[in-house]
Structure 1
Amino acid sequence: MARIRIEPGNGLQSAESIKSLRGTRESLALTDEGNSFGSDSELNGYTSERQTDKYGFIGGAQQYSEQSAEDIPPEVLRQREAKWLDMLNNWDKWMAKRHKKMKLRCQKGIPPSLRGRAWLYLSGGKVKREQNKGKFEELDRQAGDPKWVDVIEKDLHRQFPFHEMFVARGGHGQQDLYRVLKAYTLHRPEEGYCQAQAPIAAVLLMHMPAEDAFWGLVQICEKYLPGYYSVGLEAIQLDGEILFALLKRVSPLAHRHLKKHKLDPILYMTEWFMCAFSRTLPWASVLRVWDMFLCEGVKIIFRVGLVLLKCMLGSQDKLKTCQGQYETMELLKTIDTRYMLEGFLVREIIELPLSERDVEKEHLAQLRRWKETRGELHCKSPPRMHGAKAIMAAEPPSRQDLRQNPTIIVESSLATNKNVEGQEEDKARIKTKEQKNGKKTGTPVASNPEPSDISTKPTPPIKDAPLQGSNQSLISTEHDTYL
C-alpha cells in the first residue's frame, strides 16, 4: 500500500522554488515523496475503503467537511438553475443590459450542474471554441515538443492526487490533463508550459470536457492573467508589488509588519495568484472564488489575498506570535481554517472595497517604478481584461457563437402523444378542406400518403430518480438539455 502524505502549506514559496516554477520537475506545493496513490492496483485497494465527497475528493486537506461549505436547500437550487438557464439562453442580452444582476448571481454561487457551462461562457471560451472549430483536435493529433511533453508527463500525478478524477496514474483525468496542457504548448510555443497551469487546467477538467477546458485555459492565460506563465514570471512579480501596495490601504499594520521583516510578496503570493487559490482554499471556497473571478476578473484574486493577509496579520495580538521573518512565513504557510471557510471568505471578498480602477491605477504606478529600478519588461503581455463583460466587449460574439447546441432532448410520453394527436388532427383538417374545395371546383382530390417519418407510437417515459429529494443537482455538460 502506498503511503499517502499531504503538505499542510498554503502557498508559501522559497526563492529557489519560485525559480523552478517553469519547466522543472519540482511541484508548486507538493514534494515528490508520497504525494500520489501510485498504481491502479494500489488505488483499487485503497478506494474500496473510502468514499468520495460531493466534489470527488477521497481525502486530503480540500475534502468536504460540514463546516467548510454552506448547503443550499434543493428548492432554492432549482430556482437558481432555472435563472441560470435563462441567462445562458440569452447571454448577450444579459451581458449588455443586466450584468449587475449576473454579477450578484455569481457572488451567490453558480449551481453545480451548470458551473462548467457558465464558466465557459463567462471566460469567453465558448466563443473561442466556436470561432476555432477543429483547432483543438488538430493540436491534439500533434506530437508536441519533447521538452514540454516530458515535463508535463512528470507533473500529471501531482495535480489533485486526492481527487477521484486524477488519482489513478494513466487514468482518464490524467490523460485529458496531458492533452490540454500539450495542446496549449502547441498553441503558444513561445510561452510553452508552466507548472502553475496544470492545476488551472485540472479544475476546468473537473467541470467540462477536454476541448472546453483547453479554451478555458487559453482565456485565463491570455485574458485574465496575461504574462503569469511566461519566461521570467515578470507579471506575477509586478502583481506582487501591486498586492503589497494595496495592503497598505487595507491593513496598514500587516503592511508595516511585512515591510519591517523584508518579506517580499513573491514569497507568499506566488501560488495563490498563479493557481487562482485552487491549491490553497477548501474546495467549496475555491469554487465560489472561481465563480466570481471568471465574472469580475483578477480583482477577486487580489481581494482574496488581501483578506487572508489582513486576517492573519491585521492585529497586534496576532503579530505577537510572529516576531521574526521565519515565524511570519510559517504563519502564512498555515492559514487559519476559519478565515478560508466559504461563508466567511465570500462575505469578506464582496465587502472589501477594491475595484478594477484601483487595480489599474496601482498597476500603472508599479509599472513606472519597475521601469525606474529594473528597466523595461522583457515580456510584453496583452492588456488584462477585468472579467466577462470586458472580454465580451473586446471581442463581440455573434448570436451563432453563443447558441447552445443540445444533443439530448428529454420529452415526456404525454407531450409525444399530444404531438401525434395534433399531427393527426391537422391532417384531417387539411384533407376535409381539400375535399370541400374539390367539390366546389369539380377537380379530383388526390389522397395524401402518410408521412413516413411521423411515428404514431408514443415514446416511453424516461425513468429517472426524482429530483425533489436530492441535495445535489444533476451534472450537466455544455451539450445537455435540462428538464
Structure 2
Amino acid sequence: MAKIEPGNGLKSAESRKSLRGTTESLALTDGEGNLFGSDSELNAYTSERQTDKYGFIGGAQQYSEQSAENIPPEVLRQREAKWLDMLNNWDKWMAKRHKKMKLRCQKGIPPSLRGRAWLYLSGGKELDSQAGDPKWVDVIERDLHRQFPFHEMFVARGGHGQQDLYRVLKAYTLHRPEEGYCQAQAPIAAVLLMHMPAEDAFWGLVQICEKYLPGYYSAGLEAIQLDGEILFALLKQVSPLAHRHLKKHKLDPILYMTEWFMCAFSRTLPWVSVLRVWDMFLCEGVKIIFRVGLVLLKCMLGSQDKLKTCQGQYETMELLKTIDTRYMQEGFLVREILELPVSERDIEKEHLASVRRWKETRGELHCKSLPRMHGAKAIMAAEPPSCQDLRQNPTIIVESPLATKSNGEDKERKRTKEEKNGKKNSFPTPVAAYLEPSEPSPLKDTALLGSNQSLSSTEHDTYL
C-alpha cells in the first residue's frame, strides 16, 4: 500500500488516531465567497435566504431543479399508498415480496415516509438514554457545528438539531465503549436525524455501524482500507483504463474513497442523489456504496480524453475532489448504479482475497468485526423474532387504499354492530417512542453558544 502523505486529504498512518476527533477550526462561507465569523452574521444570513424543500439554506447540497427528477403528484400519492401498505404489513412483505420492495426502493421512497421506511429497513429499535462518557463528550461537542452547517436543523449552535446529534453520538459511545466516537459517524447520524426522532436515529446509526459497515469506525480503519482494496479490484473489471491510471500514479484507494464510504456519500452528492442512494443502500446493502464509487471513477477516469487533463497524481486527486455535477445528478447516477454488474458475491469474493493479502503482508487484522449483512432482508432474517417489534408497534396506523374489499366489508359490519350496541368506534392511538433525556444535555455554553470559532462547509475534516 502506498504511503499516505499529509496534505492529500488524510493524515499519515502514524497519526490515524487523529481521525477519531478533531480540534481544528473551520471557516464557513455562503457558497459565494463571503465568510461568516460569528453567530450573529450567520443568523442574519439564514434569515435572508430561502430554505429549500430539504431544509438547506445554501451550500453545495441545496436543492436544484436540474439535479432532480420531476415526479408527478399523482404518482407520488400512489407510491405513498403502496408504502403505507408495506409498512403496515412489513413482515409479510419482507418475507414474501422482497424483490418488489427492492424495486420500490430503487424508484425512491416517498419523502413523507422515508424516515419510517429507513428505520424499518435497517431494523432499528428504541433508545434508552444514559449519562455520557466524559472521554468522548468534549470531542463530540467540537464536531457538532460542522455537520451540514447550511441545514436549518443544525445551523443554530446549541439548537435542537445539535442537541439531538449530541445525544445520538454520545449514546453510541456508551453502546460500543470499545469503539468510542469516530468523526465520520456524525454526518451519518445527522442524515438520520433529518428524517426521524433521536431514538430512532440512534438505532439506525447502530445498524449502519454494525450491520452495513462493520469496522468502519474502529481504531486503525482497517475495514475501510480493506474495502478500498476491494473497490480497486472491482474497478479493474468495470473500467480497466481507470484502474491502470490509478495504479500507474500509485494512488491508494483510501486517498479518494474514505469520505465517500465512511459518510455513505452524504457529503459528496447533491442531496436528492444522497436520498436515492440511501434508499437503495439501506435496502440492498453496501454493494450500492461500491457501485456509486465505481460509477464516479468510471465516469471521471474511464476514457483517454478525460485522462488528458490529469497526467499526474496531484491532478488526478484534484479531479476526484471536484466531480463533474452531471455525473452526480439523480437520474443519471441512479441508472448507472442499477446497470453496473457488481453483486454481493463479487464483493465477498474480493473481500476474502483482500483479507488473505493483508495477512500475508501485514499479519492478523486487529479489528474483529462481525460479517456485514447485505441489506434489509439479511438483517431481518438474522434478528431473533423477539427483536422484530416494528409490525407489532407501528408508528403509522392508516388504512391502506390497497386493502382488500373483504377487509373493508368486515370492518363495516363490525362498526355497524358496535353502533347498534351503543359502543363508540375506537382506534389504537400510537404511543410516541421518543423518550425524554434522563438528564439535561451537558452541552457547554462555551462550546456551543459563546464560541467565536469560524466555520466552513468547504474545508475538509481530519478523516478525509
Q: Under a length normalisation based on structure 2, what TM-score does the superposition of the two structures give?
A: 0.80
Which whole-Å CA distance do the structure 1 matches of 2:384 and 2:60 have between them?
41
Q: What is the CA distance between 1:92 and its match in structure 2?
A: 1.0
Q: Identify if the C-alpha distance between structure 1 residues 48 and 396 changes in structure 2 by more than 3 Å, giving closer, same or farther.
A: same
Q: Deviations over 1:279-323 (max 9, x none)?
A: 000000000000000000000000000000000000000000000
Which whole-Å CA distance do the structure 2 matches of 1:440 and 1:73 have between them?
39
Q: What is the CA distance between 1:43 and its match in structure 2?
A: 3.8
Which whole-Å CA distance do the structure 1 matches of 2:312 and 2:410 have between them?
85
Equivalent position SS for 1:53: coil
Contact 2:38 2:454 in 1 (8 A): no
- Of the structure 1 ranges 407-416 and 239-248, higher mean CA displacement relative to structure 2 is found in 407-416
Contact 2:146 2:457 in 1 (8 A): no
Which whole-Å CA distance do the structure 2 matches of 1:289 and 1:179 have between them?
26
Contact 2:56 2:151 in 1 (8 A): yes
Q: Identify if the C-alpha distance between structure 1 residues 294 and 447 changes in structure 2 by more than 3 Å, giving closer, same or farther.
A: closer
Contact 1:179 1:210 in 2 (8 A): yes
Q: What is the CA distance between 1:260 and its match in structure 2?
A: 0.3
Contact 2:165 2:193 in 1 (8 A): yes
Which whole-Å CA distance do the structure 2 matches of 1:467 and 1:24 have between them?
15
Which whole-Å CA distance do the structure 1 matches of 2:149 and 2:268 have between them?
14
Q: Deviations over 1:196-227 (max 9, x none)?
A: 00000000000000000000000000000000
- Of the structure 1 ranges 154-163 and 387-396, higher mean CA displacement relative to structure 2 is found in 387-396
Give yes or no for the alignment of 1:178 onto 2:176: no
Contact 1:407 1:479 in 2 (8 A): no
Q: Identify if the C-alpha distance between structure 1 residues 409 and 480 changes in structure 2 by more than 3 Å, giving closer, same or farther.
A: farther
Q: Identify if the C-alpha distance between structure 1 residues 175 and 320 changes in structure 2 by more than 3 Å, giving closer, same or farther.
A: same
Equivalent position SS for 2:451: coil
Q: What is the CA distance between 1:408 and its match in structure 2?
A: 8.3
Which whole-Å CA distance do the structure 2 matches of 1:59 and 1:115 have between them?
23
Q: What is the CA distance between 1:25 and its match in structure 2?
A: 2.8
Q: What is the CA distance between 1:450 and its match in structure 2?
A: 40
Contact 1:17 1:28 in 2 (8 A): no
Matched residue pairs, number?
A: 457
- Of the structure 1 ranges 34-43 and 193-202, higher mean CA displacement relative to structure 2 is found in 34-43
- In the alignment, which of 423, 428, 440 is matched to residue 439 of structure 1? 423
Contact 1:27 1:155 in 2 (8 A): no
Q: Identify if the C-alpha distance between structure 1 residues 448 and 322 changes in structure 2 by more than 3 Å, giving closer, same or farther.
A: closer
Q: Identify if the C-alpha distance between structure 1 residues 23 and 437 changes in structure 2 by more than 3 Å, giving closer, same or farther.
A: closer
Residue 472 of structure 1 corresponds to which residue in structure 2? 453
Residue 457 of structure 1 corresponds to which residue in structure 2? none
Residue 48 of structure 2 corresponds to which residue in structure 1? 49
Higher relative contact order (CA 8 A, sep 6+): 2
Q: Identify if the C-alpha distance between structure 1 residues 241 and 26 changes in structure 2 by more than 3 Å, giving closer, same or farther.
A: farther
Q: Identify if the C-alpha distance between structure 1 residues 341 and 165 changes in structure 2 by more than 3 Å, giving closer, same or farther.
A: same
Q: Deviations over 1:311-362 (max 9, x none)?
A: 0000000000000111101100100000000000000000000110000011
- Mark the runs of 5 or more structure 2 residues left unpaired by the alignment: none
Q: Identify if the C-alpha distance between structure 1 residues 386 and 9 changes in structure 2 by more than 3 Å, giving closer, same or farther.
A: farther
- Mark the runs of 5 or more structure 1 residues left unpaired by the alignment: 126-136, 420-424, 454-459
Q: Identify if the C-alpha distance between structure 1 residues 118 and 407 changes in structure 2 by more than 3 Å, giving closer, same or farther.
A: closer
Q: Deviations over 1:439-483 (max 9, x none)?
A: 999999999999999xxxxxx999999999999999999999999
Which whole-Å CA distance do the structure 2 matches of 1:446 and 1:183 have between them?
20
Q: What is the CA distance between 1:379 and its match in structure 2?
A: 1.0
Equivalent position SS for 2:64: coil
Q: Identify if the C-alpha distance between structure 1 residues 340 and 429 changes in structure 2 by more than 3 Å, giving closer, same or farther.
A: closer
Q: What is the CA distance between 1:391 and its match in structure 2?
A: 0.4
Which whole-Å CA distance do the structure 1 matches of 2:206 and 2:453 have between them?
30
Contact 1:404 1:479 in 2 (8 A): no
Q: Identify if the C-alpha distance between structure 1 residues 373 and 404 changes in structure 2 by more than 3 Å, giving closer, same or farther.
A: same
Contact 2:84 2:398 in 1 (8 A): no
Q: What is the CA distance between 1:413 and its match in structure 2?
A: 19
Q: What is the CA distance between 1:41 and its match in structure 2?
A: 3.6
Q: Identify if the C-alpha distance between structure 1 residues 322 and 223 changes in structure 2 by more than 3 Å, giving closer, same or farther.
A: same
Q: Identify if the C-alpha distance between structure 1 residues 327 and 86 changes in structure 2 by more than 3 Å, giving closer, same or farther.
A: same
Q: Deviations over 1:53-82 (max 9, x none)?
A: 101000000001111111211100000000
Contact 2:27 2:456 in 1 (8 A): no
Contact 1:203 1:278 in 2 (8 A): yes
- Of the structure 1 ranges 472-481 and 249-258, higher mean CA displacement relative to structure 2 is found in 472-481
Which whole-Å CA distance do the structure 1 matches of 2:222 and 2:328 have between them?
28
Which whole-Å CA distance do the structure 1 matches of 2:233 and 2:442 have between them?
61
Q: What is the CA distance between 1:44 and its match in structure 2?
A: 3.3
Larger radius of gyration: 1
Q: What is the CA distance between 1:384 and its match in structure 2?
A: 0.6
Q: What is the CA distance between 1:139 and its match in structure 2?
A: 7.5
Q: Identify if the C-alpha distance between structure 1 residues 146 and 34 changes in structure 2 by more than 3 Å, giving closer, same or farther.
A: farther
- In the alignment, which of 444, 450, 455 is matched to residue 463 of structure 1? 444
Which whole-Å CA distance do the structure 1 matches of 2:232 and 2:317 have between them?
15
Q: Under a length normalisation based on structure 1, what TM-score does the superposition of the two structures give?
A: 0.77
Q: Identify if the C-alpha distance between structure 1 residues 439 and 338 changes in structure 2 by more than 3 Å, giving closer, same or farther.
A: closer
Contact 1:22 1:195 in 2 (8 A): yes
Q: What is the CA distance between 1:22 and its match in structure 2?
A: 1.2
Contact 1:313 1:319 in 2 (8 A): yes
